Structure 1
Amino acid sequence: MNRRVFWLAAGFAALLFQGLHAQIRLPALFTDHIVLQQKSQANIWGWGKQGTKVTVKGDWPGAKASTVVDSTGKWMVKLPTLKAGGPYEVNIKAEYKSKKEGKQDTLITLRDVYLGEVWLCSGQSNMAWPVRRADRAEEEIAAADYPLIRFFTVKRAYSPTPLEDTEGEWVLCTPETVADFSAVGYFFGRELHQRLNVPIGLIHSSWGGTPIEAWMSEYGLKRVDAYQSELAKIQQLRLHADSMRQVHQQAMAGWTQQVLARMQGMPRGEVLHAGDWQQMKLPTLWEDAGLKGVDGTVWFKKEVDIPADWAGKRLILELGPVDDMDVCWFDELQIGAHQTTGVYDKPRKYEVPATAVQPGRHTILVKVMDTGGGGGIYGRPDQLKLYPADAPQAAISLAGNWGYKLDVKLDGLPPAPQLPPIEGPRAPMNLYNGMIAPLMPYTINGVIWYQGESNTSNPDLYRELFPAMIRDWRLRWNIGDFSFLYVQIAPFRYGSPLVGARLREAQLAALELRGTGMAVTMDIGDPDDIHPTNKQEVGRRLALLAMDKAYGYPDVPSSGPMYHFMKIEGDKIRLYFEHTFGGLEARGGELTHFEIAGKDKRFYPAKAVIQGETILVSSEQVPQPVAVRYAFTNDAVPNLYNAAGLPASSFRTDKW
């Protein structure tokens, strides 16, 4: 962390004594470059010795608050903040005095502090999706020089009980830091920064492939009647957690050995001298470079010229994260390996012994083994490098073209042993405990949320869980009903019919809660890819919602047309809408994806015609219509917009 600690003491002995007994501790959220919510009572908290007086002072007018560490070793103050500005310093002074231990003072200083707008960015993989994998990634990364946009990325962690702290630090938005940050979060923050002209703080806490119940507290789940039987099962399973964990570890070890045996492929020497090597620009997931759907073994090769003055020096090879497993050689020498699953996000750092380092050309060879999902050497370009251990500033970049050769393509791989139902990031409560609870009660303006794909198996339950989670977070944050803005899931070809449409319907229903807003993505999805890459427009639409819902700009169009009610007019049905902003539009020709049905509940394709701010729907096959549906399928990409250019959500007028 970049915060600085100074000891205020009369002598060296006192200094040592203070180091043992008087130091207070701040959560990971409080580091240099922090953004505090402007015009608020910003919560600042930490831990210390009971009875210690804690004074927090910022160098803007009126910024002072004091408290005493309580009997649990915790303290918290509310620091008044002014309108956006900075840079400032915040000093946290701890004073402890007792007859036995004497006087002990501690001072922690946070530097480069700004007051601005703070938002939490959370959800599953579409929120976690990094800028480097979004549309026009190279262009966006190169232009990402916004020192007044700051990022804090919460380390991924799951826990059966609420954690008090996380890991991470605040960093400035630069081309180096933005590449791995949430694309939706960044584009949302950039739009706000440009519109409001204030510092923006973005806290990113997400995990791909996770259901909503993982992000809810136990208290929140207890308030959902439909979830009570599941909670009862969880309570019983917790009684056997240790034995279940041991059984899973043994099963996983056996499965991993089976996978590694299947992935042996060609010997290293044979691969090294084989022909037919192709080129791939690293870092990247190989699915993004032409090997779509490939699980198995891929070899990567890079030639590197060692300077004369590196001769006889110990070198460090960094590859960044590798998904899933890897073995690495420097010429003939194996210098490192990770051959267990679950380390796909761990940066690889290997040592080349001094005896192997001679001037001239050398070969780096990496065997990458992927068991499912994305695979490859996929970090940031600055993470791929080779340098002397004593001179990291002299690093040679290894980013760019590497030779690659597909060796083993896994087919029919047995599924990995499932984690116990109470273990892992998908288990109920585990991500709330590990990645949300440590953030509370950091003062934020609101939340942006992109999640739902992992709950399409039960849209009816999601309809209850989602608003319950919003209420629960607001209750536990205890800073009022902050804005909660979310993304409706995009069209995708799910395996079961209508589950995507019904999940979108459940998300639509959550708009009944005060202070919520929904960004529709019906028009920017990809039915063949659950991760559409146009994150720029997703972030922009969320920012429009923020301008309306959080910042009081009602004239900013923030919503697409919303179905309001219908009237039957003979053999036709007229649909009425809210949020038309002066009219309705059909992009690319006539309206598509409308269906109409009679009392027999059989839907037929319908003709839909815009008439002012209404739509008249009909079909010759349905002379007595009673219901209409619009884009109510998993993968429809329809074309109804309002005059502001924002798309309509899928909807239905029936409850069948």
Structure 2
Amino acid sequence: MHTAWAVSVPAIFSDHMVLQQKAEVTVWGSAKAGEPVTVVGTWNNKPVTTKASNLGKWSVKLNTPDAGGPYVVTVKGYNTIIINDVLIGEVWLASGQSNMEWSAAAGIESAEVEVPKASYPEVRFFNVAHQTADGPQLNLQGDWVVSTPETMKHFSAVAYFFGRELHQELSVPVGLINSSWGGTPGEVWVSPETIASDPVLVEAAAKQKEVEYGPSQPGKAYHAMIAPLIPYHIAGALWYQGESNTVAPEAYETLLPALINNWRSEWGYEFPFYFVQIAPYKDYGPYAGALLRDSQRKSLKVPDTGMVVVSDIGNNDDIHPRNKLDVGKRLANLALNKTYGKENRPASGPLFREMKVEGRKVRLYFDYADKGLVSESKALPNFEIAGEDRKFVKADARIDGNTVVVQAKSVKNPVAVRYEWSNTVKPGLFNKAGLPVSSFRTDNWPMQQ
């Protein structure tokens, strides 16, 4: 075979892959300029033909049916590529830093129970190898594998537990693409042009120091580990990252929406984007953890997003909490509720919505608290209140239905409230689904990071 003329496809198209159901999916690759290329899937046996461009690139769109398989996809030009054991179902992209990358092999709670039972023939994994690049790449390293105890052990634990829950609830194949890298700041996962277009992002990116364990410059992972996946059709994206952005925590309120919009723009549609709020941890700067978590909460202003709060299953002494099962399940419940319409699944813990001053008291209102709030103690911990002098004092707080009433004897005219405003917290307020209230502040006063 004349290799210079050979038709090829990127690594994301391989045996055992999962294609998004009921969608117009794109298949693409390279070939000799002008070469006719035909792609056909056995679910309908309808060939789609195109010609490689003068740059030697081609792409076609295939319409996929309801979930099912296995099928075969054939790509034919000068040579023939046969992709076997193709399933059609739900495809999710998981990305972020070490807490998303963390695997059972690295050590998780309940590994001895969960690893042996990880045989799910219709759950598939694609692990993207760590790479960097100075410009958008056309291919990456990785291949699709079937979920087994051995493959699950080395895959993202959060993504696996998420995918397993979807598979069991929806009874469809699930494809999980893990493109994450421990220790990386959010800037490396965004296009450099996006960072350069906003002075807030430029200033925050400049605070990132070079480290030996991964890239820190804008776009380096995006170019090599995200761009080559576009436009592989995904149902949505999962994100667990932020620990490395505590050097500029307030800028994350700009950075995360910029990342979401950047990815959606490149993919060409607004897929759901669900993320994990970082867990409390003792070694951040004075209030950096609280500020970062609040920036994540504020990022929910972006449409079709959701946030999982994990303050109750974190570890103040370990930046890598080992309970990944509940993180994955909470992400799955969020997706099952908001994306798949399973209203019986709890979408979120309570999120602060607004405050109203009632004389010397403040009443706090929350989303996702319709059925009421609960606490182990009558007097709620972790609330602070301040007047116009901006001096916060410990507040007396109590639940009143699905609201919280806050006051302090020394504050006659309250103007601001904070909840769980420290790097290390032990949550004391939940909704009836057992999910914790996100930390928050009602003020925007400058403070030490």
Same fold by TM-score greater than 0.5: yes
Query: Does residue 425 of the first structure (1) align with residue 398 of the second (2)?
Result: no
CA distance in 2, matches of 1:578, 1:229: 33
- Residue 287 of structure 2 is matched in structure 1 by 498
Alpha-carbon spacing, 1:62–1:506, altered in 2? closer, same or farther (3 Å): farther
Match among 40, 57, 79 for residue 57 of structure 1? 40
Q: After TM superposition, give the deviation of residue 557 of structure 1 in Å.
A: 2.1
CA distance in 2, matches of 1:171, 1:67: 29
Query: Does residue 150 of the first structure (1) align with residue 124 of the second (2)?
Result: yes
SS in 2 for 1:142: coil
SS in 1 for 2:115: helix
Letter in 2 for 1:108: I
Deviates more, 1:225-234 or 1:32-41: 225-234
Give CA deviations for 1:365-398 in whole Å, capped at 9, x if unaligned: xxxxxxxxxxxxxxxxxxxxxxxxxxxxxxxxxx
CA distance in 2, matches of 1:229, 1:146: 46
- Residue 551 of structure 1 is matched in structure 2 by 340
Give CA deviations for 1:418-444 in whole Å, capped at 9, x if unaligned: 569xx9522221111111111111111
Query: Does residue 459 of the first structure (1) align with residue 249 of the second (2)?
Result: yes
Equivalent residues of 2:19, 2:86 under 8 A apart: yes
Give CA deviations for 1:481-517 in whole Å, capped at 9, x if unaligned: 0011000000011342111111111111111111111
Q: After TM superposition, give the deviation of residue 655 of structure 1 in Å.
A: 1.6
TM-score by length of 1: 0.65
- Residue 169 of structure 1 is matched in structure 2 by 143
Q: After TM superposition, give the deviation of residue 64 of structure 1 in Å.
A: 3.4
Match among 91, 97, 102 for residue 124 of structure 1? 97
Match among 12, 16, 39 for residue 33 of structure 1? 16
Letter in 1 for 2:176: L
- Residue 607 of structure 1 is matched in structure 2 by 396
Equivalent residues in 2 for 1:144-223 (5 A)? Answer: 144-223=118-197
Number of equivalenced pairs: 444
Higher strand share: 1
RMSD: 2.0
Q: After TM superposition, give the deviation of residue 125 of structure 1 in Å.
A: 0.5
TM-score by length of 2: 0.95
CA distance in 2, matches of 1:438, 1:217: 13
Structure 2: gaps of 5 or more residues: none
Rg (Cα) greater in structure: 1
Give CA deviations for 1:125-166 in whole Å, capped at 9, x if unaligned: 000110231111121101111111000000100112222111
- Residue 50 of structure 2 is matched in structure 1 by 67
Give CA deviations for 1:329-387 in whole Å, capped at 9, x if unaligned: xxxxxxxxxxxxxxxxxxxxxxxxxxxxxxxxxxxxxxxxxxxxxxxxxxxxxxxxxxx
Alpha-carbon spacing, 1:575–1:227, altered in 2? closer, same or farther (3 Å): closer
Equivalent residues of 2:336, 2:342 under 8 A apart: yes
Letter in 2 for 1:614: T
Letter in 2 for 1:163: Q
Q: After TM superposition, give the deviation of residue 590 of structure 1 in Å.
A: 4.0
Letter in 2 for 1:203: I
Equivalent residues of 1:557, 1:581 under 8 A apart: no
Alpha-carbon spacing, 1:596–1:156, altered in 2? closer, same or farther (3 Å): same
Deviates more, 1:489-498 or 1:220-229: 220-229
Alpha-carbon spacing, 1:615–1:202, altered in 2? closer, same or farther (3 Å): same
Match among 203, 224, 227 for residue 201 of structure 2? 227
CA distance in 1, matches of 2:253, 2:204: 16
- Residue 59 of structure 2 is matched in structure 1 by 76
CA distance in 2, matches of 1:615, 1:513: 26
CA distance in 2, matches of 1:424, 1:556: 37
Q: After TM superposition, give the deviation of residue 575 of structure 1 in Å.
A: 0.9
CA distance in 2, matches of 1:550, 1:570: 42
Residue identity (%): 49
Equivalent residues of 2:374, 2:431 under 8 A apart: yes
Letter in 2 for 1:459: P
Structure 1: gaps of 5 or more residues: 1-17, 95-104, 235-416
Equivalent residues in 2 for 1:107-506 (5 A)? Answer: 107-132=80-105, 133-228=107-202, 425-478=215-268, 480-506=269-295
Equivalent residues in 2 for 1:468-617 (5 A)? Answer: 468-478=258-268, 480-587=269-376, 590-617=379-406
Equivalent residues of 2:158, 2:327 under 8 A apart: yes
Deviates more, 1:613-622 or 1:71-80: 613-622
- Residue 26 of structure 2 is matched in structure 1 by 43
Alpha-carbon spacing, 1:60–1:533, altered in 2? closer, same or farther (3 Å): same
Q: After TM superposition, give the deviation of residue 599 of structure 1 in Å.
A: 1.5
SS in 2 for 1:126: helix
Give CA deviations for 1:57-76 in whole Å, capped at 9, x if unaligned: 11112653221100111111
Q: After TM superposition, give the deviation of residue 21 of structure 1 in Å.
A: 4.4
CA distance in 2, matches of 1:220, 1:552: 33
Query: Does residue 92 of the first structure (1) align with residue 98 of the second (2)?
Result: no
Q: After TM superposition, give the deviation of residue 93 of structure 1 in Å.
A: 1.1
Letter in 2 for 1:437: A
